[in-house]
Amino acid sequence: MDETFDHIVIGGGAAGCVAAARLVEAGRRVLLLEAGHSHRHPLLDMPPGIFKMINGSKFMRYHRTTPQEHLGGRVHEISQGNVLGGGTSVNAQVYMRGRPSDYEEWDELLRGNNAGVRWDWQHVLPYFKGMEGNNRLRNDRHGSEGPLLVSDPGHIDDVSRWFVQAVQSLGVPYTHDFNGPTQTGVGFYQFMNRRGKRSSAAYAFIEPLLANPKLTLKLNASVHRILIEGERATAVVYIDASGRTHTARANADIIVSSGALVTPKLLMLSGIGPADHLASHGIACLVDLPGVGQNLIDHPEVPLIATANGPYGYFKEAVGWRMLRNGLQFKLFGTGPITSAGVEAGAFVNPSDPEAAPTIQAFCVPFVYLDRDVLGAVKSDFGITVTTVVVKPKSRGYVALRSADPDDMPLVSPHLLQHPDDMRQMIAGQRFFLEAFKTAPLAGKLNRIIAPDPAEQSDGALTQHCKRLVKTNYHPSGTCRMGPDGDRMAVLDATMRVRGVDNLRVADMSACPNINAGNTAAPAMMLGARCAQFIIDEKTASLPSERLSMQHGEHAA
């Protein structure tokens, strides 16, 4: 017999884990449904496992885009976590919040909402601090007591150090904290791990509650639709691991946290979305929300690749006796090269105006690397790969239904680099970091640049290079965005409620009005925490006290 819960959370990714945990801690009975697998696997815990995950794993779901006309008809992949913890269980673990101006922008875009809810930096910062257990930083921006363990890299490769020094030689200041007062700089990222073990949303928030009777966790549970009775979301239909169909009912809010590619699909299958599009698939439209699936934003990235003139970088650590030694060191002591996710160093720069906010984020990978759908003739080797990422892209894509069959993947068209300003910024970023390749001490360690072609670096040639190799930075966002009252394309109000439906909210990166500058795992967890807090505060009519209570740690996720 199917059960009734206080809340149902659909999707156990970064946001869903935090939302479910916060509600359970508040005494609610919560059903957490995750379509993917358990997060308990040695390869998932091991930081370099990301390179195995991306290039073929049951722990990832691989979305193939529609042919991208502006990229010459290219089809590329957007891989997403298919596991409890979502992206936080399979990603490179970089801890990044974005900059305060990102949230000032959200607040400005949401001005005029009837709830009077603020999304500026001072209102979101307490959620970040409440979650964070930083091993080095404790100040007005960082917490050290939270369950999400944030640490400096356990191992730094020489190639990463040379990259940081070369970029400093180009006039970029060194930073010890990309989440500090200014984002501009070059340095070493912090990561969501401790002593080499991943600190995912699953480990940080769900593991401590697995014995709590208020939490019911179902893995390999695929949700087919949300049931709407009248104007109220009341239940969820899902298929369990054995193929049986269940209907779980909720006394209060249902939260959809399936990510920016699947959340709009699930809403549309449930009759919530653009009326004409639903009708084309024979789905009765219960709530006409034209913004569902629109406004897809992702960070585009393009690699620069050079081979080394010696056995530098992590390629040497993955073969022969070194691999055995490193594995034993990691297993026994939690130290050594395997404690690194392989992207220790990075930078935020504005090549066009060094005094303005950064337009480009860079990741330094200390070996030759490309994802499986853009590999071509490039093979792993000694060297360096630097990916340049446009942090505030203007391009917008969409997610749509492929059919009314819940088992079908959605149609995804991200339109990466479609906007000319995005392409202009990407080319400027490529030129800047090509100069880093030619600058000491990095220059003395490199053999030859193999991408882009060093003989063809006109704007036209770099444009073609970018079109050929651009890919996702794994940050799809914005497809069910929040907006003020009167905004017809806004799917959610400022408290993350789906417009036109009671007891239904969205808590994942699809909710954001615009993408933040940097990695999105931490913002997704903040969204989950804040969504749960909205629900809790509505019951106690204490929304205005939200910030004060968070600052005192009473509601820290």
Set 142, 415, 475, 555: catalytic member: 475
CATH number of the domain to which 312 belongs: 3.30.410.40
Instruction: Give the model's pLDDT for residue 345.
Output: 97
399 falls within a domain: no
Give the span between the Cα atoms of 273 and 12, in whole angstroms. Answer: 23
Instruction: Give the model's pLDDT for residue 157.
Output: 92
Query: Could you give the count of Cα atoms lying within 13 Å of 155 in the half-sphere of its Cβ?
Result: 23
465 is catalytic: no
Give the pair of three-digit tokens for residue 110.
Answer: 């949401």
Helix (H) or strand (E) holding 536: helix 521-540
The string of pLDDT tens digits covering residues 364-417 is 999 887 766 555 556 778 999 999 999 999 999 999 999 999 999 999 999 999
Same domain as 382, residue 435: yes
Sequence-separated contacts (24+) of 271-277 with Cβ below 8 Å? 271/228, 272/226, 272/228, 272/498, 272/500, 272/501, 277/400, 277/401
Give the pair of three-digit tokens for residue 257.
Answer: 């946290």
Question: Are 140 and 180 in contact, with CB atoms under 8 Å apart?
Answer: no
Task: From 1, 7, 4, select the one nearest 538 (Cα to Cα).
Answer: 7
Same domain as 553, residue 482: yes
Give the span between the Cα atoms of 67 and 293, in whole angstroms. Answer: 18
Non-local (6+) Cβ contacts of 480 within 8 A are 260, 263, 264, 267, 291, 292, 293, 491, 492, 498, 506, 510, 511
Same domain as 136, residue 166: no
Average pLDDT over the chain reads 91
Same domain as 234, residue 126: yes
Instruction: Give the model's pLDDT for residue 26.
Output: 97
Question: Are 254 and 7 in contact, with CB atoms under 8 Å apart?
Answer: yes
The string of pLDDT tens digits covering residues 88-144 is 999 999 999 999 999 999 999 999 887 889 999 999 999 999 999 999 999 999 999
Same domain as 160, residue 144: no
Sort residue 379 into left (φ over 0), alpha (ψ -120 to 50) or beta. beta
The string of pLDDT tens digits covering residues 487-509 is 999 999 999 999 999 999 999 99
404 falls within a domain: no
Give the span between the Cα atoms of 82 and 80, in whole angstroms. Answer: 6
Instruction: Give the model's pLDDT for residue 46.
Output: 76
Neighbours of 486 (CB within 10 A): 9
Question: Are 386 and 363 in contact, with CB atoms under 8 Å apart?
Answer: yes
Instruction: Give the model's pLDDT for residue 131.
Output: 98
458 lies in which domain range?
154-188+300-390+417-469
117 falls within a domain: yes
Question: Are 317 and 399 in contact, with CB atoms under 8 Å apart?
Answer: no
CATH number of the domain to which 545 belongs: 3.50.50.60
Give the span between the Cα atoms of 251 and 287, in whole angstroms. Answer: 21
Non-local (6+) Cβ contacts of 433 within 8 A are 167, 304, 362, 386, 388
Same domain as 321, residue 212: no
Same domain as 92, residue 211: yes
Instruction: Give the model's pLDDT for residue 557.
Output: 34
Instruction: Give the model's pLDDT for residue 315.
Output: 59
Same domain as 463, residue 360: yes
403 falls within a domain: no
Question: Are 5 and 517 in contact, with CB atoms under 8 Å apart?
Answer: no
The list of the chain residues with pLDDT below 70 reads: 1, 48-55, 314-324, 326-333, 337-338, 371-378, 539-557
How many domains are contained in the chain? 2
Same domain as 106, residue 30: yes
Question: Are 446 and 384 in contact, with CB atoms under 8 Å apart?
Answer: yes
Query: Which segments within 418-470 are labelled E, that is strand?
Result: 446-451
Instruction: Give the model's pLDDT for residue 552.
Output: 32
397 falls within a domain: no
Same domain as 226, residue 143: yes
**Tokens 């202009």 label which residue?**
424
412 falls within a domain: no
Same domain as 159, residue 14: no
365 falls within a domain: yes
Neighbours of 204 (CB within 10 A): 25
Instruction: Give the model's pLDDT for residue 93.
Output: 93
Give the pair of three-digit tokens for residue 206.
Answer: 């769900």
Helix (H, G, I), strand (E, B) or coil at 127: helix
Question: Are 327 and 342 in contact, with CB atoms under 8 Å apart?
Answer: no
Same domain as 319, residue 288: no
119 falls within a domain: yes
Instruction: Give the model's pLDDT for residue 57.
Output: 84
Instruction: Give the model's pLDDT for residue 273.
Output: 98
Helix (H) or strand (E) holding 93: none
Dihedral sign, Cα of residue 389, residue 392, residue 397, residue 401 = positive
